[in-house]
Amino acid sequence: MATRKPRAIDGAFAFDSDEALEHLRASDAALARLIETVGPFGMQLKHASSVFEVLLEAIVYQQLSGKAAATIHSRVCALIPRTRGALAAARLIDVPDEKLRGAGLSRAKLLAVRDLALAVADRRIPTLAQAQRMDDDALIERLIEVRGVGRWTAQMVLMFRLGRPDVLPVDDLGIRKGFMIAFRKRAMPTREAIERHAVRWKPYRSVASWYLWRAAESG
């Protein structure tokens, strides 16, 4: 059954970051040292107007530099001007392939955004309001039904767009590297090892993940 989740409002997390840090410090001495070294929690949310726009941007930005991706994304959006959500998806369906390719989409990304638009039109992808009420795992499973949207991409949406407090992207190289540095491991830890250790971080694994990324950057 869907469970109502904390909602991020106007770029602010719905959870108390001070409470999250207190919990993490108390539950894990090594993580407490990392938090002390890094300093205040500085994760920023990006406004989400609809699930369609969020996933469209995520697909376009994959494996591209920020500047190149931003240029292509703006060109694609210019083909469906002044529309959002389901209406934008419907309009994208009608845009010819050659125009989308001309905007800079690769063949793989063209197929992905086509699948995304059809999924929204068929209501296989939840609206933003529906997504806010869904359990993390259930929402991830729905999002990865879209071609080109993997688990990592879905997890980034939950963390940086929806402000979910308890997401742990264990397949992320930065998370694994950060864990190795923060916990003074000689080798890269397995995803299973991180998952076992991270149980103590619940329900604030997103906050812990942000600190592991900072550890990876410093190392």
Determine the Cα–Cα distance for residues 192 and 31; give it in Å rounded to an integer.
18
Determine the Cα–Cα distance for residues 71 and 83; give it in Å rounded to an integer.
19
User: In this structure, what DSSP letter does residue 201 have?
Assistant: G
Determine the Cα–Cα distance for residues 219 and 114; give it in Å rounded to an integer.
40
Question: Residues with catalytic annotation?
Answer: 172
Determine the Cα–Cα distance for residues 37 and 16; give it in Å rounded to an integer.
20
**Are residues 172 and 166 in contact, defined by beta-carbon separation less than 8 angstroms?**
no
**Are residues 59 and 148 in contact, defined by beta-carbon separation less than 8 angstroms?**
yes
Query: Domains in the chain, start-ordered, CATH in brackets?
Result: 17-44+166-218 (1.10.1670.40), 51-160 (1.10.340.30)
In the chain, what are the helix, strand and coil shares in percent, each to the nearest 5? Answer: 60, 0, 35
CA angle 138, 144, 150 (to 5 degrees): 125
Q: How distant, in Å, are the alpha carbons of 136, 159, 164 from that of 168?
A: 11, 9, 10
CA angle 9, 10, 15 (to 5 degrees): 40
Instruction: Note down pLDDT in tens along the chain; length 219 residues.
Output: 444 455 554 456 878 999 999 999 999 999 999 999 999 999 999 988 899 999 999 999 998 988 999 999 999 999 998 888 889 999 999 999 999 999 999 999 999 999 999 999 999 999 999 999 999 999 999 999 999 999 999 999 999 999 999 999 999 999 999 999 999 999 999 999 999 999 999 999 999 999 999 999 987
**Are residues 27 and 100 in contact, defined by beta-carbon separation less than 8 angstroms?**
no
Q: How distant, in Å, are the alpha carbons of 3, 31, 35, 72, 146 from that of 42?
A: 27, 16, 11, 29, 30
User: In this structure, what DSSP letter does residue 9 have?
Assistant: B
